[in-house]
Homo-oligomer: A and B are copies of this chain.
């Protein structure tokens, strides 16, 4: 409970001015005698002096903080994504301020304002909401740069995503190749852009194949395990021989639902997911899915927002990371 040591205390004990201390501790020591430099550095250790963060940020006009908003802390995809952000941010001496909105627009708004209030230097946003105008309003008005994950910017802006259309197409091709012409999709009730794109890529591929997917075969639900589970009956009612779960969490729910319905994967029905969360390798049967480079999306997003923060005039970037098919055991070939 020792009272906090300030730069003034340190200066007093060193019998120099605070300017001197400040300069030396910030490495602008060029013009100070090595005697003074040593004295100050020594005293810093001795007294355990740590510059006051708020005082520093106030005058530097930056706290090297990045606000990060994700819809769901629970989804392993986002955990990996967050790890990527943390990893890169730390390297560049930034700190992420992480918020999970639980898929609620109200909470998103709250956290957006909280980030503004805390003077985040920039934000990385994976919104759960499809209409993101309001984000731009809040952030732009406050001069906070941001980068969107998996969403199209309202106005021209930075963006990182993985190639969702491609991912959808990859899955469709694979399923078609394995003889599944009768598929149903379990998607979100209010799909965000990335989901729309996945769906689009998938559906288009089937159309091109001459085996279009009827609208009735698009089931909607929540993007959670429970959502997948709850959608089982509706999906089954369409009598598909394969189901495309728009993300892996939903696939997990479907696994359970199908098991309870007495159906065996992939003998009775095939399933594919999307994301490639690590769990996919552990469940039985192992899940065939599309790999999204979640970690890399995180590091890339962090790099980009830091660049933007430090140079507002950088050209706008829209980065689309590659995806790939992860072929495992949840699909069987039919004839």
| Chain A residues near B (Cβ < 8 Å) | 1-4, 48, 50-55, 57-58, 63, 73-74, 76, 79-80, 82-83, 86, 90, 95-100, 102, 110, 114, 116-119, 141-143, 225, 229, 252-253, 255-256, 259, 278-279, 281-284, 312
Contacts and interface: CB of A to CB of B under 8 A. Distances in A.
A74 B75 CA distance: 9
A284 B312 contact: no
A1 B187 CA distance: 38
A22 B51 CA distance: 27
A142 B97 contact: no
Nearest to A283: B283
23 contacts: A1-B312, A2-B143, A3-B143, A4-B143, A51-B117, A53-B63, A54-B55, A54-B57, A63-B118, A73-B82, A74-B76, A74-B80, A82-B100, A83-B100, A86-B100, A96-B98, A97-B97, A98-B98, A225-B278, A252-B282, A256-B282, A279-B279, A284-B284
B256 A117 contact: no
A1 B48 CA distance: 39
A119 B63 CA distance: 12
Q: Top 9 A-B pairs ranked by shortest CB distance?
A: A54-B58, A54-B57, A98-B98, A256-B282, A54-B54, A74-B79, A53-B119, A73-B79, A53-B118
B279 A259 contact: no
A161 to B, nearest CB: 21
Interface centre among A1, A82, A96, A279 (most CB of B within 10 A): A279
B58 A55 contact: yes
A221 to B, nearest CB: 15
Nearest to A120: B53
Nearest to A114: B95
A58 B50 contact: no
Given A4-B143, A53-B117, A53-B119, 4 more contacts: A95-B118, A225-B279, A252-B282, A259-B284
Nearest to A278: B225
Contact of A284 (B53, B96, B256): B256
Contact of A95 (B95, B96, B97, B284): B97
Contacts of A51: 117
A49 B327 CA distance: 54
A91 to B, nearest CB: 11
Contacts of A2: 141, 143
Given A97-B95, A98-B98, A50 B283 contact: no
Given A259-B284, A284-B256, A86 B99 contact: yes
Contacts of A82: 73, 100
Given A119-B53, A225-B282, A48 B252 contact: no
Contact of A256 (B110, B119, B281): B281
